[in-house]
Amino acid sequence: MTPKTFKIKSFGCQMNVYDGERMAELLGAQGMTAADETAEADLVVLNTCHIREKAAEKAYSDVGRLRREDGSKPLVALAGCVAQAEGAEAKRRSSLIDIVVGPQAYHRLPEMVAEATRGARPVDTDMPAISKFDAFPARKRANPSSFLTVQEGCDKFCTYCVVPYTRGAEISRPWSDIVNEAKELADAGAREIVLLGQNVNAWNDNSRGLAHLIREIATIGGIERIRYTTSHPGDMNDDLIAAHGEVDKLMPYLHLPVQSGSDRILKAMNRSHTADTYLAILAKMRAARPDIALSGDFIVGFPGETEEDFQATLQIVDEVRYASAYTFKYSPRPGTPAATMEDQIPRDIMEDRLERLNDRINTHRLAFNRSMVGSDMQILIERPGKLRGQMLGRSPWLQSVHVNTDAKPGDILDVTVVAASSNSLSGTIRQRAAA
Ligand code: 5AD
Ligand code: SF4
């Protein structure tokens, strides 16, 4: 039976969220409608993440839970990076899986659904030269802050990471496609565009780089804010840094993963920077945009990491005074060089380091948030808050801000910050800013 309803469940990074939205639009264009719950859907797409340990096991157990009490099951599509990594093996490991579709093959999803309804179990993990983006319908719906993937894949081969294998080589979408999509999103109500890519700052089209693209998107009516993530220190060029000082709509926030503060570990990770070259980039950035908020990713317990290496990580955290950060315990990923390195770090040591790192980062996050109390800022309203009458907005520095207001998602408000915790700010309305 041809499915009439679908549910897409996305895990992992923002690029998966974006892909999930595009797959929904693609299925919608086939006449299917989105179901609220997995239990009500004829087709369930699990859009998986492979970045950390037990990712495949988790995906298979999620698949197992799709079997219903009466023994029936929806049509099941395994998508995302686990699908890419497992390929046809996925069908052998779970008889519940009907479709295996990798991140570069989503344009074939409707066709694969049709094949599956005829009893086939199609697998497509190709990385074709033609772009899946060309097959997606125009954007008709947007969030106040909308994601737009501009670049995919990674050529950096950090020794711990599966991304170069699951998402393939670095590919940039063409300039005109991106600008058109940004306009469609603006017409559909987006006020903020978040440009996405595994190495977003490696984006280029002929001789134009990300800074050019940002300047162009800043000219689109309705778009008031621009962000981009995730950047690699090796691709952080002067033009992009300069754009932070020139383009008002470019928000004062940079997510620039460092991973470790120890040069010895950075070398073993095959990162192209040292602690000093990383700090030099941030110094230039702060010169261009003094109020910039900085964020990063950290891995603790990489093979061979000593207490001294870890102290260097704490030191860089103190030097940068991150406004936020994501921290991970090293997880050996099969097929990556680090997985077979000697001197893997015991779990209890990793856990202890993670806790100490998180404590240190939280101290800086809280100090950053508290420094905002009493100041005025503009926030973009995104959605209702937990309490009645409360809405949740975002500051330019990506903090969540709670306010009591009858404003709607997409409104931009002037607020005064009255309180801060390590996770969020509270504000009171000054006045509604002109749209
Ligand atoms: N183990 C732990 N963390 C990892 N990351 C990527 N691969 C691994 C791994 N094998 C983290 C990095 C990266 C973020 C997206 O996930 O910090 O920047
Ligand atoms: Fe993975 Fe390194 Fe590429 Fe980031 S830059 S996706 S951590 S290989």
pLDDT, tens digit, 9 for 90 and up, residues 203-223: 999 999 999 999 999 999 999
More confident residue, 128 or 324: 324
179-188, 356-365, 425-434: range with lowest mean pLDDT: 425-434
Tell me the pLDDT tens digit for each residue of 287-296: 999 999 999 9
Whole-number pLDDT of residue 352: 98
What 3-state DSSP class applies to 319?
Answer: helix
- Is pLDDT at 248 greater than 80 in this prediction? yes
Percentage of residues in the chain with pLDDT exceeding 70?
98
Q: What confidence tens digit (pLDDT) does each residue in 388-408 have?
A: 999 999 999 999 999 999 999
15, pLDDT greater than 70:
yes
Average pLDDT over residues 152-179: 94
Check pLDDT > 70 for residue 102.
yes
**Cβ–ligand 2 contact at 50 (below 6 Å):** no
In the predicted structure, residue 131 carries a pLDDT above the cut 90? no
User: What is the position in ligand 1's atom list of the atom closest to the CA of 161?
Assistant: 7
Of 42-46, 163-167, 328-332, 351-355, which gets the smallest average pLDDT? 163-167
Nearest residue (CA) to ligand 2, atom 4: 198
Atom of ligand 2 nearest to the CA of 154: 3
d(C-alpha 335, C-alpha 254), whole Å: 31
Confidence of residue 232 (pLDDT cuts 50, 70, 90): very high
Q: Does the structure show a pLDDT above 60 at 74?
A: yes
Pocket test for ligand 1, best of 156, 159, 161 (most atoms within 8 A of CB): 161
What is the number of the ligand 1 atom nearest to the C-alpha of 297?
17
Res 286 pLDDT > 70: yes
Decide if pLDDT at 90 tops 70: yes
| pLDDT at residue 55, rounded to an integer | 82
Average pLDDT across the chain, whole number: 95
Region label for 303, one of left (φ > 0), alpha (ψ between -120 and 50) or beta (otherwise): beta
Q: Is the CB of 50 under 6 A from ligand 1?
A: no
pLDDT value at residue 78: 97
Q: Which pairing describes strands 293-300 and 75-79: parallel, antiparallel, or unpaired? A: unpaired
Phi, psi (deg, nearest 5) at residue 255: -100, 110
| Token couple for 347 | 């779990």
- Looking at residue 432, its pLDDT comes to 56
Look up the pTM and report it. 0.94
pLDDT level of residue 434 (50, 70, 90 thresholds)? low
The verdict on the CB of residue 255 being under 6 Å from ligand 2 is no
Contacts 24+ apart (CB under 8 A), 68-76: 68/39, 74/3, 74/7, 74/38, 74/41, 74/42, 74/43, 74/44, 75/3, 75/42, 75/43, 75/44, 75/99, 75/113, 75/116, 75/117, 76/43, 76/44, 76/46
- Residue in 198, 199, 256, 266 to alter for ligand 2 test, most ligand atoms within 8 A of Cβ: 198
Tokens linked to 107:
């344009």
Quick one: pLDDT band at residue 71, thresholds 50, 70, 90?
A: confident
Please report, as a single letter, which amino acid is at residue 23.
M
Q: What six digits make up the tokens of 281?
A: 């980039």
Please report, for residues 70, 200, 257, 381, 402, the alpha-carbon distance to residue 190 in angstroms, rounded to integers and kept in the order given.
42, 20, 27, 11, 20
What integer is the mean pLDDT of 160-182? 94
The label of the residue with tokens 């599956």 reads 116
Angle, CA 275 vertex, CA 271 and CA 278 arms, to 5°: 80
* b/e 378-398 (16+ beta carbons within 10 angstroms → b): bbbbbeebeeeeebbbbbbbb
Model pLDDT for residues 23-33, shown as the tens digit of each residue: 999 999 999 99
- pLDDT at residue 435 greater than cutoff 80: no
pLDDT confidence tier of residue 166, bands split at 50, 70 and 90: confident
pLDDT at 433: 52
What value does the mean pLDDT take over residues 194-204? Answer: 97
Report pLDDT digits (tens) over 303-315: 999 999 999 999 9
DSSP state of 16: H
> What is the position in ligand 1's atom list of the atom closest to the CA of 336?
10
> Do the bridges between strand 75-79 and strand 43-48 make them parallel or antiparallel, or are there none, so unpaired?
parallel
Query: Best of 52, 154, 200 to mutate for ligand 1, by most ligand atoms within 8 A of CB?
Result: 52
Identify which has the larger pLDDT, 434 or 85: 85
| pLDDT at residue number 127 | 85
Confidence at residue 51, expressed as pLDDT on a 0 to 100 scale: 86
| Ligand 2 near 258 CB (within 6 A) | no
Alpha-carbon torsion angle 103, 36, 52, 92, nearest 10: -70
Check residue 135 and give its pLDDT: 86
- Of 296, 356, 299, the residue nearest 333 (C-alpha): 299
